[in-house]
Structures are given as structure tokens and as C-alpha cells.
DNA sequence: AATGAATGAGCATTCATTCAT
DNA sequence: CATGAATGAATGCTCATTCAT
């Protein structure tokens, strides 16, 4: 599978395409946040992007293309932000820091993640796999962090547990955004992170060793 | 806040209203599963319910009412299925069984949960709180299970941890459905439940005590 | 091949469908006459038919359906008008009268025929065969007239000549309409009919003086 | 009336205008053949012509100009091909040969003729007369052929008959193209030509057996 | 209480044409 | 002269909702 699903643009100048799509995506994200994909019209997207409806369609083929570009962009952003996560040294501390970092990114991008979360199902059968693949890559990054702790003997987990743990962490990051109505009333981000890491690692490294007193950050 | 948001019906006969809404919800759920709320037309809903579009509007005021009724119904069903969960005896065993039971319900109703999950955002500002309240009640049920273990001294957790743990468990149940594309390829339901409970309780009851060999069921 | 291509209507009451389509076709023909199929909008068709755009689409699926219905209707009308043509007695006189009758029908319906003539190419690959089949049936009616003269020995023509003659007559009828800018300035309908029949039959009955054996090329 | 309707070009260099229009017409004809005038976009025309949409509009003012140029060109081509027809010697043989020649041209150019035939109605009130005039000139050429036979006493026809005969021949040539679905299945070009000429002349030269006095109606 | 025909605002998309570079 | 990005009016079609029967 190719890494990106090409979205057709009539305009040839690649720089311009990039620029216009930036505008478009920025506008669309903000609209999708407010009203969701279905309730947003292409005209609104064009207007929010700062150009005419005709111009919008020079850079996409269908409305769904906008959704795909939005999802793609969000993943890309999240991934860029998480890139450093890759270089975990395999210590528990670096793992925790990685997770904290991930949670912080998810906090900062919670609107975007929410959008993607709720609208991804509107992607065509054609585009969905690309987005899911991206998501798996991100889970893979978390998995990598954990794996390196296992490799260095800091954790004792089989591959299935590693994978599921990664998925749990990943979802807990998203959760902070999509269950904000329940969580953000009750916890500050810091508290949330500390508690989640605590619950997570208490399980992994064993009950007696985990000091509940000090936070990670 | 009232427990239910009343949905206006022109028809007076309450029995009939109940019956017709049953038909309507059943049809709607099946349609929403396939195509989502936005892509489903009121005509399709009426047809699936077995009556005419005119009749449909005798029992609702707007299309969104259908969504609310559907969400409401799904919660009700889930809650009914979880009712017995209430009577945890406060043993770790009963807690685990409760969670297993919850996971099984979420497995059986994954389509419905997915629908609710993805479409709830389309509810009006008016209806959303009712649905969120229901969700909190369900989290509350999980919380109750954990609490009773704490009360009986089987677990040592402060109220914040109890709450977050309950949310985690709750989301892990939903996760099985909404991340099925990633999870159900890799795990059987049984494996998933065992692993999750393992990861959960290893942390809570301490590392050395948990025998990883035997599953819960 | 079925005799008619069904055009889907959402409305069940067949009488009503018939009635509404009557209105629609009448309006459409008049518009197509003025501006052609492509330059006529569905809104205009609806308005000319006396109902809203929404209602129009209760009785058709696509704009092209209107064109098909129009073509179908025109053929039906022409055929109805030509029905009596069927009972040629096989005399030269009845043949001539048949042709005269046909020319008169084509004169009366020249607008409709022109429409069909110029717009038929816009029919989908799906619908075209039905229209062509109808046209062949009408040619067949002319052919029948000639054939019965041959059968009774009033004319001596092989089947190929019969067929081509029928096509010629058929086209000459249409010609009166679609070349009106050239013909109707110069000839009255009566003159045109007399002259065409004259030219036609002079050839047919003056057969013996012409050597049919060698082709020209 | 002028002989040509001027189509405005911004570009001054007449040679270039000629060259560009050549490209444009060639591309347009090929597109119109496939999809008709209305379904062809100006962008497609430009592309088929080998230059940009901006350049296209340096050589025309509106899309309809392209249609006019195409029609004009087709007539010009047909006329060029028929030029030799002019020099009929007034023998029956030369008349027949002329008609054969015309039929052959119409066979070769049937796509073009079909295009013109079906799209001419889309010409503006402004441009139509020029095209019709061209068509009359061509009919005039056929008429000339017949006339010279009459002049030399090989045929005995009044001017009205001459004219109508010319129109009939002309239409029979076009017919071969626009009724190809009916005719070309049944006849080879050669057969078609022989039969048509046969039917035509049998009538014309076998004249004495037919009473011209009374009309049919 | 049930029906389903009618409505029309609303939407995605196209495309002829312009104009700055 | 050539280019092609920008424009926005126009169009086919949908669908939630109403209301007369």
C-alpha cells in the first residue's frame, strides 16, 4: 500500500497546492470542530479557507477529499510531535516521559483528534485504510517505547501484553480529549497523567514498588 | 434534570407510542449501523420501521429525535444487561466477574455502542446532557463495583483512582468495539478480557500475587 | 427487449403518475422546442409542468428520464396517429393516401419530431435502443404499406428496395420538419406531398425503362 | 450577407490565428463526435488542441464560436471535396457519377456531418444563417448537376422538381450517416448508392407512364 | 391514527470566462 | 502571446417536514 492516497488537484504548481491545502485544512478543521463534517458545507470550507468555491474544487475532487486531507494532516502533525518519542533509551523514566509527552500532545490537539475520531467513519472505503494505517504506526511508536524497556530487562512482558498496553496508552491519550466532559471537570491534565501512569505502571512493575506520593512531572 | 427528555408525539395512546417507537428504533439502529445517522433518511427509517413517513412524524418531531431515542434505548439496553453488576459482593472475584460480564455485553452490543459513539455528537445541545448523564451512570456502576472492593478492604485506592479506573474499564469495554479493526484481528474476546484484567489488576493488587497462567473465565 | 424502459417513480398511484407525467412531458416538449434539452433546466421543466422541483423528482430519477419520456411519448403519439395506416388495402391509391396521411401527421407534429431528432443523441446508451426500436416500428408500418402493394402485384420491388423506399419516405416526412427553413419557404405542404409522391412513384411505376442489372460503380 | 461571420481573435498575426484555429477545430471535431457539443468543455477543447485554456480564449470569444468554426470548417471541407461536382457535363452518366461522388464524401465524413447535424441547433441566431446558407450552396451544387441534365434535354423536370430532387439527394447522402444504425447494418455503401440511384432515376426517366396532372389530395 | 404527495431550501459540483503574471 | 489560477453563477438532485385526505 502506498503511504499516501493522492488527492487530485487541477492546479499544477505543487507549492501552491501545498499552500492552498494548508488554508483549506486549517479552515476545515475549525469548522469540523464546531459542526462536524456533515453539517459543514463546501462553501463554508472555501470561505473559511479564504477563497471561492470554484477555487476549492481546483484542489480537491470531492468534499470527502477534504476530510481525508484533514485526517491525514492531523496524523502527520501528531506524528511529528511524537517523533522524539522514538528515541527512548529503554529506561522506565524515558518511557514515562514519552507517555507524558504523548499525553501533552493529545491535550494540545484534542480538538483535532476529536474531529478525526468522530468523522473518520465518513471516509470512503478507499481512504479509510490509509488513516488506520497511520493510527497503527502511532500505536507502534508507543509499542516501541515499551519494547525497548522490555529489551533492556526493565519490564517483563510478552508481545501480546506489550501490544495491548500500547493500545491502552494510546486510547487513554485520546480519551482525555473525547471524554473531556467527564475527565476534564475532575482532573487537571497533570493529575490525569500522573494517575494514569501510576495505574499503568503499578500493574507492570509491581504493587509494592510504586510510590504513590510523587508525580512524574 | 429530568431523567428523560420527553420526545413529543401527536398520538395520545401511550401503548401505541411505545410500540411504534420500538419499531422505529429497531429499524433506525440497523440503518445507523450500516450508514450512520447522517446518511440515513427519514424515509428509510419509516420504511424500516414498517410504516409511512407521515406516521413516523406522528411519533417524533425531528429526525434528531430518532437519534435521541436510539441513543436512549441503547443505554437502556446496556444498563439492563448490566443491572446484575450492581450486586457485587465486594470480592475481587466478583469484581473480575463484573468486568467480564461488562466486556461480554459490550461485545454483544458493539454495533450499537459504535453507533452511539459516533453519532452522539449530532445530538442537539438539548439532548446531549441526557445521554452523557446515562453514560456517567454506567461508569458509576463500574465505580460501585470497585468501591465495594475498597470498602471491604480488598483494594486500597483513593476516590480519584477509583473513578479513573472505572472510566478506564468502561472505555476498554467500548474500545473492543470501536477499535475492532485493530483488536479483533489480534485477540479473541476471551484473550482480550484476560489480558486487560491482568494488566489492570496486576497494578492494583500487586505484581507478585497475580498468577499470569490462568485466565479469569 | 422489453417494450418500454421503466422510469422509476416514487409515487405509487399509477393514475397520478400518468397525470403528472403528462404535465411534465407537455411542459418539457415546449421547452425543448425553444431551447433544446441541454439548455433547459429541471427547474424550468418543473415550473412548466406546474409543480415544484421536488415533485418533479418524485416522478423521475434523472433529467435524462424526462428526455426519454418525451421521446417515448412523441413516438407513441405519432404511432397512434398512424395506426390506421396499417390497413392499407394494397392498392396504389391506398399507399398514396397512407403516405399523405403520414406526411400530414409529420407536419402537425413537426416540433415534436424536431425535438426528438435533435436530442435523441443525448439519451443514455441505456435508453437509446428503445427509441430506435420504436422508430424501426414506424418504418415498418410504411414498409407494410408498400409490401401489401407488392403482394397484390401492384408494385414489383425486391425486399431491399421495399425497405429502402420505406426509409426514404419516412425520412422525407421528417425532412419536412427538420429542413423547414429550406422547404417550407418554397413549398406548401400540399405541394410538397404531391411532388414527393410524384417523384417517388414515377420511379416505381416507370420501372421497365430502366436497366436494373448493372450498378453505377 | 457576408460570406463568413467573423470570429474575433485577440491575436493579430493572421497566420497564427489560422494555425491555432486549425488545431482547435481538429480537436473540437474529435471531441464533439464522441460527446457532443454540450458535453464537451472548453478545457477539453484547449487540451485537445494542444494549448491552454487561456490561449483558447485568445482565438475565440465564446464556446459557441468553436461550434461555429467547426460547422464552418466541415462545410468547407465537404464543399472542397465536392468542387469537381460542379463540372457536370450534363449527361446522365455524369449526374450519376456526381451523386456517387457525393455519397462517398458523405460516407467518409459521416462523423463530421453527424456532429453538424446534431449540434447546429446550438448555434446562436447570429451564426445559424451562415451555416444554413452554406448548406443551401451545397444543395445548389446538386441542383446544378441536375439542371445541366435538364438543360441538355436529358431530363424533363420543372424547377420545383429539380430543387426537391436535389434536396432529396442531399438528404439521402446525410441519411447514410445519421441513420447509420438502421442503414449500415443492412446495406454496404455500394449497395446503398446503387439502390438509391436506381430508385431515384427509375422515377425520373420512367416518367411518361405517370400522369402528372392530378395531385393526390 | 395513518398515509404519502407536495414542497423548496439547501447542497455538492461544474464550467465558461477573466486577468494578472 | 501564452499561461493557468481564480471566480461564482448556475445546475441537478436530495431530503426533512407538512398537511390534506
> Over the stretch A109-164, which tens digit does the pLDDT of each residue have?
998 988 888 888 889 888 999 999 999 999 999 999 999 998 988 888 899 999 99
CA of A138 to C1' of F16 (A): 41
Estimate to the nearest angstrom the gap between the alpha carbon of B99 and the chain centroid.
Answer: 13
- Sort out which chain B residues have CB atoms less than 8 A from A121's CB and list them: 36, 118
Q: Are D17 and D6 in contact (CB under 8 A)?
A: no
Residue among A62, A59, A32 at smallest CA distance from A44? A32
Q: Give one DSSP letter per residue of chain D, joined into a string.
A: --SS-----S---HHHHHHHHHHHHHHHHHHHHHHHHHHS-HHHHHHHHTS-HHHHHHH-SSHHHHHHHHHHHHHHHHHHHHGGGGG--S-HHHHHHHHHHHHHHHHHTHHHHHHHHHHGGGS-TTTHHHHHHHHHHHHHHHHHHHHHHHHTTS----HHHHHHHHHHHHHHHHHHHHTHHHHTTT--HHHHHHHHHHHHHHHHHTGGGS--SS---
Please tell me whether any atom of strand F lies within 7 Å of the Cβ of A20.
yes
Chain B span 1-40 residues with beta carbon within 7 Å of strand F: 39-40
* Total residues belonging to chain C: 217
User: Please, which positions of strand F sit below 7 A from a protein CB?
Assistant: 1-20
Domains of chain D plus CATH, in order, are 8-61 (1.10.10.60), 64-205 (1.10.357.10)
Please tell me whether any atom of strand F lies within 7 Å of the Cβ of C10.
no
SS3 A171: helix
pLDDT over 70 (residue C204): no
Say how far apart CA A139 and CA D79 lie, in whole Å.
73
Per the model's pLDDT, the better-predicted residue between A117 and B85 turns out to be A117
Average pLDDT along chain C:
88
Least CA distance to B186: which residue of chain A?
A160
Output the pLDDT for position A88. Answer: 67
Nucleotide nearest to B11 (CA to C1'): E1
pLDDT over 90 (residue C65): yes
From residue D73, how far is each of A145, D26, D130 by CA, in Å?
73, 9, 12
Nearest to D203 among C132, C186, C206 (CB): C206
Min Cα distance A118 → chain B (Å) is 5
Nucleotide nearest to B52 (CA to C1'): E3
Mean pLDDT, range B109-118, rounded to an integer: 89
Mean pLDDT, range C96-107, rounded to an integer: 93
Least CA distance to D37: which residue of chain C?
C38
Say how far apart CA D158 and CA C211 lie, in whole Å.
24
- Give pairs for D4-8: CB < 8 Å, separation 24+: D4/D72, D4/D130, D5/D68, D5/D126, D5/D127, D5/D130, D7/D59, D7/D60, D7/D61, D7/D65, D7/D68, D7/D69, D8/D60, D8/D61, D8/D65
- Sort out which chain B residues have CB atoms less than 8 A from A198's CB and list them: 161
Output the pLDDT for position D85. Answer: 65
CA of A58 to C1' of E14 (A): 11
Least CA distance to A172: which residue of chain B?
B168
When pLDDT is cut at 50, 70 and 90, the band that residue C88 belongs to is: low
pLDDT over 50 (residue B212): no
Residue among D144, D153, D127, D154 at smallest CA distance from D60? D127
* Total residues belonging to chain B: 217
pLDDT (tens digit, 9 = 90+) per residue, A198-210? 998 875 433 333 3
pLDDT over 50 (residue A59): yes
Output the pLDDT for position C107. Answer: 96
Percent of all residues in chain D with a pLDDT value above 70, rounded to a whole number: 90
Residue among A78, A178, A168, A180 at smallest CA distance from A119? A178
> Count of CB atoms within 10 A of residue A34's CB?
12
Nearest to A202 among B139, B191, B204 (CB): B204
Per the model's pLDDT, the better-predicted residue between B133 and C216 turns out to be B133
Nearest to B121 among A36, A135, A200 (CB): A36
Output the pLDDT for position D106. Answer: 94
Mean pLDDT, range A21-27, rounded to an integer: 96
- Give pairs for D85-88: CB < 8 Å, separation 24+: D85/D141, D85/D142, D85/D144, D85/D145, D86/D141, D86/D144, D88/D144, D88/D145, D88/D148, D88/D149
Interface of B with A (CB under 8 A): 36, 38, 118, 121-122, 132, 135-136, 139, 160-161, 163-165, 167-168, 171-172, 175, 179, 181-183, 186-187, 191-192, 195-196, 198-209
CA of A27 to C1' of F4 (A): 25
Say how far apart CA D42 and CA D44 lie, in whole Å.
5
Mean pLDDT, range B157-180, rounded to an integer: 94
Please tell me whether any atom of strand F lies within 7 Å of the Cβ of A19.
no
Say how far apart CA A48 and CA A25 lie, in whole Å.
9
Say how far apart CA A71 and CA B50 lie, in whole Å.
38
Q: Which protein residue's Cα is closest to nucleotide F5 at C1'? A: A11
Q: Are B21 and B59 in contact (CB under 8 A)?
A: yes
Least CA distance to B124: which residue of chain A?
A35
Nucleotide nearest to D41 (CA to C1'): E15
From residue D18, how far is each of D21, D24, D47, D61, D64 by CA, in Å?
5, 10, 18, 15, 18
> Count of CB atoms within 10 A of residue D185's CB?
7
Nearest to C38 among D38, D196, D202 (CB): D38
Least CA distance to C181: which residue of chain D?
D132
Q: Which protein residue's Cα is closest to nucleotide E1 at C1'? A: B11
Nearest to C203 among D36, D100, D200 (CB): D200
Please tell me whether any atom of strand F lies within 7 Å of the Cβ of B195.
no
Radius of gyration (C-alpha) of chain D in whole angstroms:
20
Say how far apart CA C212 and CA D194 lie, in whole Å.
9
Mean pLDDT, range B100-107, rounded to an integer: 94
Q: Which protein residue's Cα is closest to nucleotide F11 at C1'? A: C41
SS3 C55: helix
Mean pLDDT, range D66-73, rounded to an integer: 94
With residue A110 as reference, give the H or E element that holds it: helix A110-119
Lowest mean pLDDT among A47-61, B117-131, B199-213: B199-213
pLDDT (tens digit, 9 = 90+) per residue, D12-59? 999 999 999 999 999 999 999 999 999 999 999 999 999 999 999 999
Q: Are A197 and A216 in contact (CB under 8 A)?
A: yes
* Residues whose CB falls within 8 Å of the CB of residue A129, separated by 6 or more in sequence, listed in order: A1
CB contacts < 8 A (C, D): 144
Give the neighbours of chain D: at least 3 Cβ pairs within 8 Å. Answer: C
Nucleotide nearest to B19 (CA to C1'): E1
* Residues whose CB falls within 8 Å of the CB of residue D95, separated by 6 or more in sequence, listed in order: D88, D145, D146, D148, D149, D154
Min Cα distance B19 → chain A (Å) is 31
Nearest to D216 among C197, C199, C208 (CB): C197
Per the model's pLDDT, the better-predicted residue between C105 and C89 turns out to be C105
Nucleotide nearest to C17 (CA to C1'): E5
Output the pLDDT for position D186. Answer: 95
Kindly provide the b/e burial profile for residues C46-58, where b requires at least 16 CB atoms within 10 angstroms of the residue's own CB: bebbebeeeebbe
Amino acid at each position: 500500500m502506498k503511504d499516501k492516497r493522492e488527492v487530485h488537484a487541477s492546479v499544477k504548481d505543487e507549492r501552491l497546492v501545498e499552500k492552498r491545502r494548508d488554508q483549506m485544512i486549517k479552515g476545515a478543521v475549525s469548522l469540523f470542530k464546531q459542526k462536524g463534517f456533515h453539517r459543514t458545507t463546501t462553501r463554508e470550507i472555501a470561505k473559511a479557507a479564504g477563497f471561492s468555491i470554484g477555487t476549492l474544487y481546483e484542489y480537491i475532487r470531492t468534499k470527502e477529499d477534504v476530510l481525508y486531507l484533514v485526517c491525514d494532516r492531523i496524523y502527520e502533525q501528531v506524528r511529528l510531535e511524537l517523533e522524539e518519542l522514538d528515541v527512548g533509551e529503554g529506561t522506565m523514566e524515558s518511557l514515562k516521559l514519552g507517555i507524558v509527552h504523548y499525553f501533552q500532545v493529545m491535550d494540545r490537539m484534542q480538538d483535532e483528534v476529536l474531529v478525526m475520531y468522530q468523522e473518520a467513519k465518513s471516509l470512503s472505503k478507499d481512504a479509510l485504510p490509509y488513516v488506520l494505517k497511520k493510527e497503527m504506526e502511532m500505536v507502534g511508536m508507543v509499542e516501541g517505547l515499551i519494547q525497548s524497556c522490555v529489551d533492556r530487562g526493565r519490564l517483563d512482558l510478552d508481545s501480546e501484553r506489550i501490544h495491548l498496553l500500547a493500545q491502552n496508552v494510546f486510547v487513554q491519550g485520546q480519551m482525555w480529549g473525547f471524554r473531556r466532559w467527564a475527565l476534564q471537570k475532575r482532573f487537571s491534565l497533570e493529575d490525569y497523567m500522573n494517575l494514569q501512569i501510576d495505574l499503568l505502571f503499578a500493574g507492570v512493575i509491581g504493587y509494592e514498588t510504586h510510590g504513590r506520593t510523587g508525580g512524574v512531572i
